[in-house]
Structure 1
């Protein structure tokens, strides 16, 4: 992999002009530096925190060997997915990300349909992923209470109220402290890295010299899930896959960072590398200080607190270490909501300007089927989707999209009151959904020869590297999609059944169904906006100009590699 970033520090890329060439006006201010955007991307991954929250699921399914090496396998495969996506980001730096690239690269006949379905799945994945941070944060809090007061029995409504608090904090920060978001994301990055370092040093120092052997940490295999050993180990990979999901955040925030074509791809790659390194060290430290792995797996207060207690032999000390993870979940909830709102706003804006009215009610976006159906008009006379896409003139944020996202996160929390299995299925479906959208643009690119990107992109892969990375990444996306729908253990019961396939099936069914009945007639692809002599042409007059035709012309103007 080679980066062809400009070496001259005085070279300045006119980001607004580059964005305008792709058919979009600059609407959001470029407030994010590369450090603050790296902080946001890493806050979404927050790899070591996600690993600490899910380690109790991976330990019975492969043991320490699956926990450690599963993360490395997931990291390498995610890097293979991220590399071609970073190249596309460098060529086409728009917040639409995957659904935009899919439209740009796909065959003209299929471009609109692929873009439409990819946009649904990606936006749905991010909206649902927004619910995972409040879930993990509320779980940490209830685990801490259980740890300090063993007689306490956590109730679903207790966790829901804590879940709601995390969600509302994220909303307030995103809506009313937008100018502080870059600083907030820098703080998130520093807090997460500091927490990782402090916890790693503390547990090793407190447990010395009573450590587990290297053979245990890096080679111990455990299978308590009933599946064959090979499959059990592979199911343990899902912990690493979950911990590294969301690296495309750099793409969805790219219109708010200067020098986007250069810095965006770097951030996408670096957040995975930092996640892999911090996760490997953190997991190694935890496993070295474990006293009895069975106690960790069965602990009523959760595996993480039990590991901290094994190391420190202090309940107060264990809670102090847990505070780092709880605060990280505040940062993560805020960061995912930031990205989700941009993704939803961008996608709904494209739909609102390009879907015309029809007799069959069309659902603009996943899950709005339950509450809202929209009629679309070329003259922008749209009831709701146009509202979600607005950027607030004073706050400089897509405020309505934030409220829209928050509303659905609260709805998902209400599902938690009724069934934790249903809620877990929805959150697992978010990881599957994002993984699928990561694979779609590289797959299309390979099928079309793999040489469609313009030569002037700053981040460039050699042809062999592009093919290898894309093939490995696509295979990984297929594998994790299959593994995420497996029940976690045998025998399968209604309680432990994995309903992820049903949740993702709903996403896929609605996205394809609405395309067949409505989108194929009216959706024109990513929004086209062009400035001409200071005037902006958009809406009905531009609806006849599809993204595909512009891209085909653009591709013809570039000599293939």
Structure 2
């Protein structure tokens, strides 16, 4: 491998200094196709519908599931385009917090960057928990289908979540060179599997399709909210499945030509997610025999539809296996990204006194081994919380996209307010620019983020009870408190934003 291919940075700690310094380490293993496969697998929009379908059917029904998905994809594409231009100018592995530091006024860049870094890390760590839990949910549905129980016990769910966490951990910690190949395969598996499932459902449901009018015009509202809020709550379920497209920015030190390739993948991620999820959703709605059973089924909504369509436990299980493996691939991809995000932030002393321990890359494994351990340990802790309270774990998982969306807002706002001069000092000549479209694109992005982020905090049903309350705001406050403690205990003195900026940018642009 050439020296040029080894220009990304390894974090090591200099005991004589209060900051983290860098040296070459990570290999650029992720080609454009591999990185695109990872982004597609990580969003996994068509499979993530499993989680959004029950709430969506209650909050607007088929109208919201179909048209809300289109609105979400358009909105997320605007956001991705806004961030893609920033990534083109500043291809840095810290993503949002790096960009915030580079774009913000000097008087506030340290504190603002520190806050965005915490939001981004919290988002990716909790997203790993959410992905593992959803994979478990898909798998457990098959177990319930073949057993006499009405639903799994909490310890069974806990154990199965740990199994998928462990698989992701082993792949990321000890088989890093296999990850690009896995991402290639997972992308193919996901697309081919989706087409196969759609074909089977359409064939098995022939003569029993829902009427087109029912699919395209039925609006239901069982939330207790006014119809407008119900529509937004239903649309929010699609937003959940089309976010986290910043993933590729945290791989810029492991991919060739990141200033060119990463922005393309960012924009393509929500588009490919929507293009695949919309026809899949359409097929599910046409093949659904009993909508009430889908919402209430202990099998899970998608497996219930498979069972209704095929009328065969074997057929439904085989179809659900495709979903489950696709989601397992997603889980390992989320750990890949979350560990890189945490490593990058720790390298810049963003995680207080534990930063020097988390930041280094293991020279033998060539992975951020301590960062992988750190992220995995947090998710295991979340799982232990689940043994005591399902509400607590659901609050942690539901806050993931909320954190990420808040981290998207800050760099977009900085570019909107500062205009062209925000980029001129970093890259006077650029290969790609939004030009005169920058302001309208950023305004649409911020409006979409503001609306969806606000709705994220709404309880899904009225009247509000302890069981259906949305506790994401509680998780948000806890993260803010942790961030404040870290800032005053260490960050205010030692966090100076991204280190070795010129070297990192030079390496990325020369790759």
Equivalent position of 2:389 in the other structure: 419
Q: How does 1:18-417 map to 2 (within 5 A)?
A: 26-351=24-349, 364=352, 374=353, 384-417=354-387
Equivalent position of 1:429 in the other structure: 399
Match of 2:467 among 464, 479, 495: 495
Equivalent position of 1:504 in the other structure: 476
Indicate the SS of the match to 2:266.
helix
Contact 2:5/2:27, CA 8 A, preserved across alignment: no
Q: CA deviation at 1:51?
A: 1.0
In structure 2, relative to structure 1, the CA distance for the partners of 1:523 and 1:151 (3 Å cut) is: closer
2:435 aligned with 1:462: yes
Paired with 1:43 and 1:62, the residues of 2 have a C-alpha distance of 27
CA deviation vs aligned residue, 1:490-544 (integer Å, no higher than 9, x gap): 111111111111001211233245335542333211112667xxxx9xxxxxxxx
Contact 1:86/1:459, CA 8 A, preserved across alignment: no
Task: Please state which structure has a larger fraction of its residues in helix.
Answer: 2
Contact 1:74/1:244, CA 8 A, preserved across alignment: yes
Q: CA deviation at 1:457?
A: 2.9
Contact 1:19/1:93, CA 8 A, preserved across alignment: no
Paired with 1:155 and 1:458, the residues of 2 have a C-alpha distance of 55
In structure 2, relative to structure 1, the CA distance for the partners of 1:198 and 1:520 (3 Å cut) is: same
Indicate the SS of the match to 1:488.
coil
CA deviation vs aligned residue, 1:469-505 (integer Å, no higher than 9, x gap): 2111111211122111111111111111111110012
Q: Quick check: 283-292 or 517-526, which moved more?
A: 517-526
In structure 2, relative to structure 1, the CA distance for the partners of 1:15 and 1:113 (3 Å cut) is: farther
Paired with 1:529 and 1:66, the residues of 2 have a C-alpha distance of 44
Contact 1:261/1:458, CA 8 A, preserved across alignment: no
CA deviation vs aligned residue, 1:273-305 (integer Å, no higher than 9, x gap): 110100101000100111121221122222111
Paired with 2:432 and 2:215, the residues of 1 have a C-alpha distance of 38
In structure 2, relative to structure 1, the CA distance for the partners of 1:104 and 1:529 (3 Å cut) is: closer
Contact 1:141/1:326, CA 8 A, preserved across alignment: yes
Paired with 2:249 and 2:401, the residues of 1 have a C-alpha distance of 17
Q: CA deviation at 1:48?
A: 0.4
Contact 1:261/1:457, CA 8 A, preserved across alignment: no
Paired with 1:468 and 1:153, the residues of 2 have a C-alpha distance of 49
Paired with 2:89 and 2:502, the residues of 1 have a C-alpha distance of 19
Paired with 1:75 and 1:455, the residues of 2 have a C-alpha distance of 32
Paired with 2:133 and 2:58, the residues of 1 have a C-alpha distance of 22
CA deviation vs aligned residue, 1:117-172 (integer Å, no higher than 9, x gap): 10111011101111111101111122222222243431110000000000000000
Paired with 1:29 and 1:503, the residues of 2 have a C-alpha distance of 36
Q: CA deviation at 1:325?
A: 1.1
Contact 1:223/1:229, CA 8 A, preserved across alignment: yes
Paired with 2:171 and 2:346, the residues of 1 have a C-alpha distance of 23
Paired with 1:340 and 1:18, the residues of 2 have a C-alpha distance of 17
Q: CA deviation at 1:450?
A: 4.5
Indicate the SS of the match to 1:351.
coil
Indicate the SS of the match to 1:434.
helix
Contact 1:450/1:467, CA 8 A, preserved across alignment: no
Gaps of 5+ in 2: 11-20, 507-511
The aligned length equals 491
Q: Compute the TM-score of the two structures, normalised by the length of structure 1.
A: 0.84
In structure 2, relative to structure 1, the CA distance for the partners of 1:448 and 1:25 (3 Å cut) is: farther
Equivalent position of 2:16 in the other structure: none
Paired with 2:41 and 2:8, the residues of 1 have a C-alpha distance of 28
Gaps of 5+ in 1: 1-13, 353-362, 365-373, 375-383, 537-546, 551-561
Q: Quick check: 52-61 or 186-195, which moved more?
A: 52-61
In structure 2, relative to structure 1, the CA distance for the partners of 1:473 and 1:148 (3 Å cut) is: same
CA deviation vs aligned residue, 1:350-388 (integer Å, no higher than 9, x gap): 107xxxxxxxxxx63xxxxxxxxx3xxxxxxxxx32121
Paired with 2:177 and 2:405, the residues of 1 have a C-alpha distance of 31
Paired with 1:200 and 1:81, the residues of 2 have a C-alpha distance of 30
Q: Quick check: 52-61 or 181-190, which moved more?
A: 52-61
CA deviation vs aligned residue, 1:430-479 (integer Å, no higher than 9, x gap): 1100011111101011111344222433332122x211221111112111
